[in-house]
Structures are given as C-alpha cells and as structure tokens.
Structure 1
Amino acid sequence: MYTNPEVPKWVVDLEFPPAPKSKSSIPDPPGYPSQSTGLTKKQASKEAKTQPRKQPSPEEMDTLKLKKAWEVALAPVKNLPMTAIMMYMSGNSLQIFSIMMVFMAFKNPIVGILSTNQAFERFESDSNRGQMLQVKLATTRSDWLAWEAHREPLEHAVSAL
C-alpha cells in the first residue's frame, strides 16, 4: 500500500488507517464491543429508525424567536443579585474598586437601553414585529432603579451601646 516515496507514511495512514489488531487476551468491558464486531443490535436499530429532521414551520420559528427574545429581555434581572453582592462586598470606603462598581451600576442599564434594537434584531421578522415591541418595552425594576425615589421609613431602630 505504501508505494509512493514522495508521500510520507503518516499521510497514507491517515487516508487508509491500519486494520484493527487481533483480539487481545483482555476482554472488552461490558457494553463496549470491539471495533471489529461493528454495530450492536441496539445501535443498528437506532440508525435504521433515524429520519431526517423536518424543518420547523414559520409559526414555530416565530414562537421560538419570541421565547429567545424574552430570555434576552429578562437577562439583566439575573445580573442584579451579583451586582448587589459586589456592591456590598466593596464596602463604603472610597477605593478604585467601589468607584468602578458604582460606575458600572449606572452605565450598564443606560447602555442596555441604548442597544435595545441591536439586541433584538436577530429575533425580529415581519410576522412577529408587534409581539417583539412588547418584548422590547418590557421593563423590570433593574431598568429604572437609578431613578426610583428613596422610601422614607416608618420607624427607626437604634442600636444599644
């Protein structure tokens, strides 16, 4: 098989892998037949049953796109606990880390609002444009938290000395 001296042996071996070696004295583990036996009955029946996947209809695609769009719209809410923990851990002293955390807490919602159309353009089609408008307008507390008014407490607790 290796007749052409210009082609290295490893190239020929890649194109025509060597035949599997004869069975050794060590038996195969349960459920793992050797390569020489071919497919098991279960694998052969599975391959026989496999049919090409049918393409989703336009309505199904719109439903899938709408679900993904809602996931994208609600993703900032999932970042709130991490931001809260990071703000708590940064403390109340003036350090570069706490300054960066405050800056990021204000910058991220503004950037998110400005890039709303780019975030949802891959999900939008002519048939779901009205539904996508609802997704784009979905606001959560994280979207407007910076402009929320501070609540006045009804009671004050004083710690004992």
Structure 2
Amino acid sequence: MAGASHSPPPPPQWVLDLDSPPAPKQKAGSTPDPPGFSTASSTKRGSSKQQSSKDQPARKPPTPEEMDTLKVKKAWEVAIAPAKQLPMNAIGMYMTGNSLQIFSIMMVFMLFKTPITALMGLPNAFQRFESPGTKDKLLLVKLVYVLTNLLAVGLGLWKVGQMGLLPTTRSDWLAWEAAREPLERAYPIFGTGK
C-alpha cells in the first residue's frame, strides 16, 4: 500500500464548467432581422467607427492657463461647499427645539466641530489647487471659505444662545445664584433729620 501511487480524483463537473466558459449562443434563425439591418452592414459600421476614432488626432493637453482656470473653479466649489450646508443645518437646528436633549446637543456639537476642523485644515484644503498662476487668485477663495465656516460657527452660537447656554443674561441655569447685594449703599443726606 505504501508503494502504490494514488492519482487524485477527477474534478467535479462544475469546476470543469468554470474553467471553460460556454461558447456564445448563436442567434436563433426563427426571428428575422428588422428591415434595413444586415449582419454585414453592422460589422462595416463598427469597423468604420473604429477607424474614424483611430484617424482622429489625440486631444491636445490643456495649456497652463486653462489648468489654472480649472483649478480656480474647483477651489471655488470647495469654498462654497460649507455655505450650501447652512440652510440644511439651520432647519435641523430649528427642528431640534431649544430643550437640552442628547439629539440637540449632538447636533450643536457637530455644528461646531465641522467648521472648526475645516478652518484648522485650511492650508491642506487648497493645497492641490495652488500653483504659481493661481496663488494670487486663491486668496479671495480662501477668504470666502473662512467666512462660510464662520457663518456655520455663528449658527452654532445662535443655537446655543437659543438653548439658554450662553451667559449673556441671567438665565434659568443661574437661578440658584442669589441676587448680589452692592457692598456700599448711598444714603440721602437731606431730609433725614440729623
């Protein structure tokens, strides 16, 4: 038994089927071709399209000025993106109400987190658009980017104020504090009888 060599069993039929894909099915002759269609004309059209695409010269690469213009357009899209989110964020802030709930707190947290991280990543946000031809044009783009992110922070401050968490006035969360008495009092001199 030790000296007998065993050949592996033949693979199952499904393995053989995977190794050899089926031949494409030929068109059944029962359905006639539509009027004006012939197999020879379709192959001629396909070969003529291939030849016409080969005959056309390759598209010329864009000039540096065109690339700079395209980079500035893409930079404007990045700069305006935070402003496009402001209406959605404002509606979300309005819908959460002014009560302190986990949902409203998380919405306000994200409203602050997103623009602050965007402002901290300002140099990296426009790095791919910078070139010697676009350096001066990107200053205005970066300024708009900063302003749109500051608007989002302002929306967050408004929401925090609406929730009563800003110490601008004496609000409910300061109700435990007693009214402060002044250290000095002014007494009228006249009319006291002294």
TM-score interval for Structure 1 and Structure 2 normalised by the shorter chain: 0.5 to 0.7
2:64 maps to what in 1?
58
Identity across matched positions, percent: 49
Q: How many residue pairs end up in the alignment?
A: 141
User: TM-score of the superposition, structure 1-length normalised?
Assistant: 0.67
2:26 aligned with 1:18 = no
1:47 maps to what in 2?
50
Aligned-partner Cα distance in 2 for 1:112–1:59: 29
Which of 140, 145, 149 lines up with 1:143 in the alignment? 149
Aligned-partner Cα distance in 2 for 1:67–1:87: 31
Aligned-partner Cα distance in 1 for 2:19–2:38: 28
- CA shift in 2, pair 1:9/1:144, >3 Å: closer
Structure 1 residue ranges, 4+ long, deviating more than 6 angstroms after superposition: none
Structure 1: any 5+ residue segments left out of the alignment?
151-161
Aligned-partner Cα distance in 2 for 1:132–1:147: 24
Aligned-partner Cα distance in 2 for 1:33–1:114: 65
The Cα of 1:82 is off from its aligned counterpart by 0.9
Aligned-partner Cα distance in 1 for 2:81–2:43: 44
Aligned-partner Cα distance in 2 for 1:67–1:46: 35
The Cα of 1:26 is off from its aligned counterpart by 3.4
Structure 2: any 5+ residue segments left out of the alignment?
1-9, 159-194
The Cα of 1:68 is off from its aligned counterpart by 0.4
Provide the secondary structure at the position in 2 that maps to 1:138: helix
The question of whether the paired residues in 2 share the 8 Å contact of 1:77 and 1:140 is answered with: no
2:165 maps to what in 1?
none
Which of 70, 74, 82 lines up with 2:80 in the alignment? 74
User: TM-score of the superposition, structure 2-length normalised?
Assistant: 0.57
Aligned-partner Cα distance in 2 for 1:76–1:9: 55
- CA shift in 2, pair 1:78/1:27, >3 Å: farther
Identify which range, 135-144 or 88-97, moves more after superposition: 135-144
